[in-house]
Structure 1
Amino acid sequence: MNTQDIRHLISLGESLTTEFKSDLSKLPDNDLVAAVVGLANTQGGYLIVGIEDNGKITGLHKKHQNMQGLASLIASRTVPSLSVKTEQITVNSLPIAIIYVPSSNTLVATSDGLIQRRRLKADGSPESIPFHPHEFMQRQSTLGVIDPSAIPMMDISSDALDPLQRQRLRNAIKRYGGDNALAALDDEQLDGALRLVIEVEGNKHPTLTGLLFLGTVELLRDYLPSHEVAFQVLNGTNVKVNEFFKKPLLETFEEVELLFRARVTEEEIQIGLFRTPIPNYDRQAFREAFVNALVHRDYHRLGMVQVKLDDTGLTISSAGGFVEGVNLNNLLVVAPRSRNPLLADVMKRIGLAERTGRGIDRIYEGMLRYGRPAPDYSMSDTSAVSLYMANAGADVEFVRMIVEQEERTGNMPIDSLIILSRLRDERRLTTAELIPSIQKPETQVRSVLGRLTETGLIEAHGQGRGRSYTLSSRVYKELGEQIKYVRQTGADAIQQEQMIISFVRLNGSIRRADVMDLCKLDKDRASRLLKNMKKNNLLELHGRGGNAHYTAK
């Protein structure tokens, strides 16, 4: 890191992955090592020594200015030994130590036996707290080190399981198009094939997954009290439905889905020879989202799976944050992973979950193809994953355009849907502005844009990195928005020049910031336009830097 990087990091303040420590009175070794352990047991990050909690730089104590000795101290005082990277940087003429702490795949303790982790308090500020034994499995499952759903329930005999739930399982395999090979198996073989029951020292016990599928209500209540699902319907502040379920997984799924389907309404539009239904909520998107909440939740953390319908939309939340490596910036592209791999595998083999592991694509598709806002995961945090799907009206003409295009070229890829949806809402965007939504490298985004241009769905404007994209004239015509197309694409170079000249005549001069606002251009494109107008003797430059402005030639 250079000084500029450090200044920026300090300016952001303390967070889950950044901690400041004062060293004016020589930070005790125990406190330093404990802080490192807290970071390692969470997400890793930076421990910056020589800074007060408020970000004021006060410098390193002379006994901590040996970076190699600092790394050796941490390695010798942690169990297992933790390797960190240390660097000394001078800021404001004062030395500070940057200690980069990796996220550990195993639990790390100090040599004195202290185990702690970091968390965010209600006000958003971070703190280090003790790491309790009952939380160890949560951490290990989040890291993918163990599979909690495959752990045998040693206090329960397989004889205590409910045969009616096993029959429900067989029916589900047929109904949802599951693995046909499972249908020919007898009960014992079925339990073994799905690892619902395993043998330990000659005795058969259900796994946690087996308990969820085949357990009785009493067994679930006594041995898995965290399993609970709530279905709520609100009308303003009035509660219309408030149902709670502690039943086996499939029975719960079927009853909640039945309650949800009763609130799905549809309208139909004629497209060619066929009528296409447009639901207020896409059933497939709901199923994938609900199954994800059941499969990926943390069953060792109290807290229910909640399905809530209100005037604004549908919210599905579950206990336990995203698993290690998954975040809001890579949801669409990260390799499929689960907190409960066995449970996820059983759901796929039954046919309830997307077998490719890309159920998130189905959720996005279920919103975007109807011209609705993208699914919103922004309310998720370290303790829960929350999905919100807005109850927005469908754009009928957008649906018609998508369906007709799919009849010509096949199913619309999710990347293309995201681009078309954003251009529909925001009119004109550059490649750089589209990259965060698609979550893929620039070369892949450009490839998608190229294919959409070839099919005539979008048009490119400009050259180089300043190139922008809009929906094509054909699409605007199909949407019945020809005027918006002319307004959007009419601001080409000639019209932009005319707007600038009109502005100068009215105001006497113009600055680059004015051009950016007037023509909706970024800084580089505004600069190029002004330079070209100066070169063509349309404008005259006065001043430099922040005082630069242009007048009519």
Structure 2
Amino acid sequence: MNRDELLEKLHTFEWNDFECKRALREVPEDAYKTVSAFANTAGGWLVFGVQEKNGKLEILGVEEVDRVQNNFLSTLRSGQKLNRVIQVQEKKYEVEGKHLLAFYIPESPRQEKPIYLRGDPRQSYIRRGAGDEQCTQSELERFLRDAALQRYDNEPVPEITVDRCFDEETVRWYQDQFFRRNPEQEEISDPIEFLLNWNYIVEQDNRMLPTRAGVLLFGKARYVRQLLPRPVLDYQRIDTTFELWSPEERWHDRYVFEENIFQTWRGLVARYMRIAEHPFSLDPDTLRRNDDPPDYVAFREAAINLLVHQDYGDHGRKASIKLFTDQTIFWNPGDAFSTEAELLDPTEKEVRNPSIIKAFRRIGLSDQAGTGIRSIYRNWHELGRMPPQIRNDKARKQFELVLFNKLLITERTLQFQRSLGVTLSAEQAEVLALAVEQKRITLTDIRGLVGGTYREAKAAADYLVQQQLLEMLDDTLFELPDDLKNRYEKLSSVETLAGSTTPEVTPKVTSGGIKLGPSWDQVGTKLGLSLDQMKLLTNFEGPHSITELMEWVERTNRTKFREQVLNPLIETRLVEMTIPDKPRSSKQKYRLTVKGRALQAQLIHGEDEK
């Protein structure tokens, strides 16, 4: 943190990773609570010489600089006030002629948490918002579980007997998958011997005991519930947008999975097949689609991530998948041990349930170590949609992944970018579109979008800063300038008043940059499509009724609309019915086919015509 960044934080008051203390001549006692909170959560800066007054931060300065600094550092390094030695990064600043001391408290490793005061684990703190909160008993137990040398999923379960607890069908299914995937392995037909060989059964004191992973993965439902007195997964389909939904509203389809993890996975795939954008069939041996399209890969990796990484020792919270019309939310009890930036690195990560994860990888149901999150981002990017969002809450120890059903590059953003008069590469155009949507973006956001290294993400951001299309707030944070925000808002309001988002000329994003493509009527003529058909194709986002489609092109005669616009799109397999066996159903809706989505991407993103 440099001086300018410090001043920026002081002007924006306290953040969740930034805390100020008065500390004129002595170290305040509550500073050590903040140290505990930062070390137990995601780290942060503690600044001495600043106090809060009337809702604002006032710079007082530290009068006894050497005394305060030496006392604070020696206490942290002595291991007396806190249960662990805390190594911090210290800096001195001079602001308004006054001295400030800043200390960066890093997040402690999993094995060292919780960090607590006075030898009492109950005096552990976490950072939540801009405050330090004492851990509850449940939160403390989560820390202790994650810190254990023997991982929770690998512990034996002496109260459950081996000869009764396993579901034979699940074990046979897994053996078939395993030996088909690993033909070089010596085949072991006996289920008990097989599980013993892979450490899902362990020998202890002349007894064979199932491990927690063994029961959770392969156990009969009643033994799974004995070990885990809450559901493995709560699946909900909610046919409305996230913004319009309230928890009091009833879901439209729900299933609470309380069987073993592999049965849960197979049941989840069956339910996903019902609501997939396009019907598909699976290879029964691998549970993979033969073509592995991007939407299924992203869902598969996100769902498996949910099943293998959750905290199965947390009996008070259950994992959930909520499918809204505009987004899908995967929520997990248990945070990722890595940071959000580290999750995008192609390296092996420390995981909570290594035995459970290995079981999935041995049969090819999860990408290789360290690539799952990257695969989700990459495949979602192929669909042209807004990048996924990760919320790794280390204070609450929970993890959330959101997949948005919204295009990143829309007609409106293309029109906005065209008005800037700057040539952008495809990646630069996407970064700017993300900044337009989110107002502020980080280098991690950019990496998730373009799938590159920090250097490549920084190069894209630097170019946009040079072109005055982004403002740099600090080394990793960027914002859309106010004048561009106003320009985009004005453009949006004009289009809303006009009642149409169809420009006369469609901008085209290519690998070489933003260029003006042919007008819609020219493209339509070349493809054999009318202007109304082109307008429908570019507006499709999900299943729509015929009434909605007619409104888009301002048609009132349903018969002529079918004959002239809709039926030709169905006949050319660009659009399909959601209920094809009942063409006249009152619930009938229409959606793009794979071919239609490919053409839509070409029209919107300006890919080379195929």
The one of 354, 376, 389 aligned to 1:341: 354
The one of 216, 221, 235 aligned to 1:217: 221
Aligned to 1:130: 135
Distance 1:439 1:376 in 2: 14
Does the CA contact (< 8 Å) of 1:42 and 1:118 recur in 2?
yes
Aligned to 2:172: 167
The one of 267, 272, 289 aligned to 1:260: 272
Decide whether aligned partners of structure 1 residues 390 and 178 sit closer, same or farther in structure 2, where only a CA change above 3 A counts.
Answer: farther
Q: How many percent identity over aligned positions?
A: 19
Aligned to 1:157: 161
Distance 1:74 1:286 in 2: 45
Whether 1:19 aligns to 2:26 is no
Aligned to 1:283: 296
Distance 1:368 1:352 in 2: 21
Q: Find the residue that maps to 2:185 and give its secondary structure.
A: helix
Decide whether aligned partners of structure 1 residues 22 and 349 sit closer, same or farther in structure 2, where only a CA change above 3 A counts.
Answer: same
**CA offset at residue 144 of structure 1?**
9.3
Aligned to 1:312: 326
1:347-496 correspondence to structure 2 within 5 Å: 347-377=360-390, 382-391=396-405, 419=427, 422=430, 437-438=449-450, 440-441=452-453, 444=456, 471-472=509-510, 481-483=517-519
Q: Which runs of 5+ in 2 are unaligned?
A: 241-248, 281-288, 410-424, 437-442, 470-506, 523-610
Distance 1:378 1:110 in 2: 28
Distance 1:258 1:91 in 2: 62
Decide whether aligned partners of structure 1 residues 140 and 146 sit closer, same or farther in structure 2, where only a CA change above 3 A counts.
Answer: farther
Does the CA contact (< 8 Å) of 1:209 and 1:343 recur in 2?
yes
Distance 1:464 1:55 in 2: 30
Does the CA contact (< 8 Å) of 2:17 and 2:43 recur in 1?
yes
Whether 1:97 aligns to 2:101 is yes
Distance 1:367 1:134 in 2: 34
Does the CA contact (< 8 Å) of 1:216 and 1:247 recur in 2?
yes
Decide whether aligned partners of structure 1 residues 207 and 75 sit closer, same or farther in structure 2, where only a CA change above 3 A counts.
Answer: same
Q: Which amino acid aligns with 1:71?
A: L
C-alpha root-mean-square deviation of aligned residues, in Å? Answer: 4.5
Q: Which runs of 5+ in 1 are unaligned?
A: 269-275, 396-416, 450-461, 487-553
Distance 2:186 2:468 in 1: 54
**CA offset at residue 84 of structure 1?**
3.3
Distance 1:434 1:87 in 2: 29
Decide whether aligned partners of structure 1 residues 427 and 131 sit closer, same or farther in structure 2, where only a CA change above 3 A counts.
Answer: closer
Q: Find the residue that maps to 2:254 and give its secondary structure.
A: strand
Aligned to 1:326: 339
Distance 1:47 1:340 in 2: 34
Distance 2:38 2:366 in 1: 35
**CA offset at residue 444 of structure 1?**
5.0
Q: Find the residue that maps to 2:362 and give its secondary structure.
A: helix
Q: Find the residue that maps to 1:55 and give its secondary structure.
A: strand
Does the CA contact (< 8 Å) of 2:325 and 2:405 recur in 1?
yes
Task: Provide, for residues 131-187 of structure 1, a one-character-per-residue CA deviation record: whole Å limited to 9, x for no partner.
Answer: 64863554663x796532222224333234224232232244368x46762743532
Bigger Cα Rg: 1
The one of 187, 195, 199 aligned to 2:191: 187
Task: Provide, for residues 372-402 of structure 1, a one-character-per-residue CA deviation record: whole Å limited to 9, x for no partner.
Answer: 333333597754322233345899xxxxxxx
Task: Provide, for residues 298-318 of structure 1, a one-character-per-residue CA deviation record: whole Å limited to 9, x for no partner.
Answer: 223332221222222332222
Aligned to 1:109: 116
Distance 2:40 2:167 in 1: 42
Q: 300-309 or 242-251, which moves further after superposition?
A: 300-309
Distance 1:393 1:100 in 2: 39
Does the CA contact (< 8 Å) of 2:336 and 2:392 recur in 1?
no
Q: How many residues align?
A: 431
Aligned to 1:507: none
Aligned to 1:34: 33
TM-score for both structures, normalised by structure 1: 0.65
Does the CA contact (< 8 Å) of 2:335 and 2:398 recur in 1?
yes
**CA offset at residue 241 of structure 1?**
1.0
Decide whether aligned partners of structure 1 residues 463 and 198 sit closer, same or farther in structure 2, where only a CA change above 3 A counts.
Answer: closer
Whether 1:4 aligns to 2:26 is no
